[in-house]
Amino acid sequence: MIFRNLTKFLILFFVMCGASISFAHRYYASFSQVDMHPEKGTIEITHRVFTHDIEDLLVRFNGGPVELTDEKVESFLKDYIIQSFAIYGTDGEKIPLAWIAVEVTFNDIYVYQEAPLSEGQDTLIMTNRILMDLFQEQSNTVNVKYERKVKSHTFQKDSKLYQISFSGRTGDYPFKN
């Protein structure tokens, strides 16, 4: 009796697991960490995107399957990230982002950038359109760290510019009075 009930339970369990896998939903997201270091005069940026999303992007741009090598990914992402992610100062000037490196793992791709941080600067205006040209449901979360404080914003398809300030106003930019 116990064996029969256990068998029924296991069959039901595996059927439910299989059903939930077949209804699995892919999540379209990227994550960017922006660390402001006033003591070093730098902004360090790390982007994390899912490897399979970059594979999809490369297939779209190349018109077919592509072997995912570090060299191909780095060459492509250098241009793509510069077009998709930008930081501006409060004067409206785009802050130049230097390419540091890319790291490809099985699940994730990490892109590292760096920029100068002006003395006394604790406000950034930014946009993050990474993968939004490919996926309608894409969302890009940016965490900005200044000293020991962190502020975050998630960019959606209709997002434009967003200001994060550690001494003033934070929100969609330009502000509506």
The CATH T-level fold of domain 30-173 is: Alpha-Beta Plaits (3.30.70)
Three-state DSSP state, 75 = helix
Integer Cα distance of 145 and 166 in angstroms? 9
β-strand partners of 104 = 109
pLDDT of residue 64: 81
Pull the structure tokens for residue 37: 């270091």
* 54 neighbors 108 (Cβ within 8 angstroms): no
Integer Cα distance of 92 and 125 in angstroms? 8
Pull the structure tokens for residue 111: 């892109």
Residue 56 parent element (H or E): helix 51-62
Tell me the mean pLDDT in the region 90-115: 94
Centroid of chain to Cα 160: 15
pLDDT in tens, 66-94: 777 767 778 889 999 999 999 999 999 99
pLDDT in tens, 4-62: 555 555 555 555 554 444 444 478 999 999 999 999 999 999 999 999 899 899 888 88
